[in-house]
Chain A
Amino acid sequence: MQTTKPSSVPTESKPANSLWQRLSTYLYLRPRLLLALLLGPPLVAFVLFYIGSLAALLVQSFFSLDSFTGLVVKEFTLDTYRQLFTPANMDIVVRTVTMAAVVTLTTAILAFPVAYYSVRFAPPRLRPWLYLAVLLPLWSSYLVRVYAWRLILAKEGIISWVSNLAGLNWLLDGLLSLPVIGGPSLTVSWLGMYVVFVYVWLPYMVLPVYAALERVPTSLLEASSDLGGRPGHTFRWVTLPLAFPGVVAGSIFTFSLTLGDFIVPSALGNSSFFIGQAVLSHQGTSGNVPLAAAFTMIPIVIMALYLTVARKLGAFDAL
């Protein structure tokens, strides 16, 4: 078939002659090399600085501290772990895990209505503002927020003042007199710690739940309603199961963050230690790096198990 070409159309494609163009063509034709170049530096940094230093610390957990000289004996031993599994130290672990679980549960219950409202009922123009409102606390320093709560929860703080005005002092005193979780004041009790933990980790739970709920197509909710499902049925059989992976994803954040935290327990706790404080004290004060390292292993192992279960429950399917 004869075709006539207009004279203005060039018959060859332009050759790449600048260095940049030749380089970009070279890399385009070698995708694996490009990948290696892109991933290489961050991976090296990650492996060397993060994993390497973490491994260096954890190796220490198989060493022991010579109580006489105060020096670390660099020989493989399980003595440090035997020290870890004593009742006093196990108390610390149980305490921390329990707090993490309770905080996770509470944030899940609080985050769900917020996310659900934002996705299903909020007018589209309001939605970015709601998103922003949830994220806004994260713009300020974590330490500032914790100490702000100290002020709020203190004996002379806002909570006491409001409860005074509202005549709810009996409630406040009653809560504080509860065994174990109470204390002389909200700022020196697990109750206060719990409140602050829930506050600081809430955005980390709202966002994954929001994302999961957003992915539920409206047609599914209509289908459930069409088949006779009242709003309660639709929530139980359609919305909740589909949003659950989002809750699991959020719980990974809240659980692991609570396990490792030492600032909130220091600011609002009493003399009983949490894992984070134990690590800090053993490492810093007594120089017992092996025991600190052994304590560090605990959250790592717990989170590894948690992540495995979360994966089975489908929290990473969207990735």
Chain B
Amino acid sequence: MTDNNIAVQFSNVNRHFGEVKAVDQLNLDIHDGEFFTLLGPSGSGKTTCLRLIAGFERPDSGQIYLYGHNVSALPPYERDVNTVFQDYALFPHMTVEKNVGYGLMIKKVPAAERQRRVQDILELVQLGGLAGRKPGQLSGGQRQRVALARALVNHPRVLLLDEPLGALDLKLRQQMQLELKTIQQQVGITFVYVTHDQEEALTMSDRLAVFNQGRIEQVGTPSEIYEHPATPFVAGFVGVSNLVSGKTAQAITGSPQMFSVRPEKIHLADPAAPVPDDMVAADGRVRDVVYLGIMTRYLVELNVGGDLTVVEQNLDTSSKEALTARGRAVRLLWYRRHCRHIPAAN
């Protein structure tokens, strides 16, 4: 394979630990210059996948290609790939400057040039004045940026990020998400990002892959994954599923095929509201209400059986008004085209 547009390629890769198949017949293409996310719950194989790219794990069978070169047997120090670790893995006995310059020092880059490049990258991640500090003297967010700088300064062709924002508080995490995206676009490197937070994946990625038990269930852009989930798992993991099947589906749409409808697409209406031709309806009672500031989440128990979660923006509703909806009889309406048919899980 000499296709230089494919940054990372997995070809029938298997990796198991004893009985457990961590990565199961994986095939994946990651394009040059894209921000690609590996999304999935704990134990789904996404981190193993990342470690296979980095070289910390070897595939039991199958091949891994980086820009056309087969790297399956190469140790990490021979791959043009750098990693930002989940626990940052900063060397505690070295200053920030020595940490960031470590890769350059190994490659015997002359001291003057090394210092210049380290200073430049620290400016990029907004840590200009902290070169002399040690990791123990930095905050979590600062350490995360040092880890990023340490990886980026070597100009790798692919940057791997293993849930780097997990230890940060919400506000900082959201800020860092935007910064990472900006840096990626500025520097132009391929980013491969691992997370279990689907909101993070949808925010940052150009494309993402949803992992489940060592296999990829779906690969696509955020909107493709969200709007057109290919399997029940993807529908449930990314966003709220609202999976309807069997008799309930029959009663609502006239066909027993499983479908999912996203909660924000459903309108909460009066039980006597008319049903337009291009919409479907389901009657029920509001069982639970959760006020989330921007929006309110309603759990509605349907008369034909089952639950649907509905999310509505609080345009005119206050929290008091929203909470009184509890116990109320309602009619749920949504456009027929928003029913996404899901093929049953194999």
Where the two chains meet, the residues of A that have a C-beta atom closer than 8 Å to any C-beta of B are: 217, 219-220, 222-230, 233, 237-238, 241-242
Contacts and interface: CB of A to CB of B under 8 A. Distances in A.
A241 B92 CA distance: 10
B93 interface: yes
Contacts of B103: 227-228
Contacts of B89: 217, 219-220, 222-223
A195 to B, nearest CB: 35
Contacts of B56: 222, 225-226
Contacts of A241: 93
Nearest to A228: B106
A220 B54 CA distance: 14
B62 interface: no
A228 B78 CA distance: 7
B65 interface: no
Interface stretch (B80-88, B125-133, B330-338): B80-88
A228 B89 CA distance: 15
B103 to A, nearest CB: 4
Given A227-B82, A229-B102, 13 more contacts: A222-B56, A222-B76, A223-B83, A223-B91, A224-B91, A224-B102, A225-B56, A226-B81, A227-B102, A227-B103, A229-B106, A233-B106, A237-B91
A225 B76 contact: yes
Contacts of A220: 89, 91
Contacts of A238: 91
B327 interface: no
Contact of A227 (B55, B93, B150): B150
Interface string B144-181: 00000011001000000000000000000000000000
B93 to A, nearest CB: 5
A229 B150 CA distance: 13
A149 B92 CA distance: 43
Looking at chain A's contact residues, the main secondary structure is helix
Given A233-B106, A237-B102, A226 B91 contact: no
Contacts of B92: 242
A242 B82 contact: no
Nearest to A233: B106
Interface of B: 54-56, 75-77, 81-83, 85, 87, 89-93, 102-103, 106-107, 150-151, 154
A235 to B, nearest CB: 13
Given A217-B89, A238-B91, A226 B54 contact: yes
Nearest to B86: A219
Contacts of A219: 85, 87, 89
Nearest to B82: A226
A225 B82 contact: no
Given A237-B102, A242-B93, A223 B107 contact: no
Q: Which among A217, A225, A228, A237 has the highest number of chain B CB atoms within 10 Å?
A: A228
Contact of B77 (A217, A229, A242): A229
A230 to B, nearest CB: 6
Given A217-B89, A220-B91, A225 B154 contact: no
A226 B83 CA distance: 7
A227 B89 CA distance: 12
Which 10 A-B pairs rank lowest in CB-CB distance, beginning with the nearest? A227-B103, A223-B89, A219-B89, A225-B76, A228-B106, A226-B83, A228-B77, A226-B76, A241-B93, A225-B77
18 contacts: A219-B89, A220-B89, A222-B89, A223-B85, A223-B91, A224-B102, A225-B55, A225-B75, A226-B55, A227-B77, A227-B103, A227-B150, A227-B154, A228-B77, A228-B154, A233-B106, A237-B91, A237-B102
A202 B93 CA distance: 27
A26 to B, nearest CB: 40
A238 B89 CA distance: 11
Nearest to A227: B103
Contacts of A227: 77, 82, 102-103, 106, 150-151, 154
A236 to B, nearest CB: 10
Contacts of A229: 77, 102, 106
B329 to A, nearest CB: 28
Nearest to B162: A219
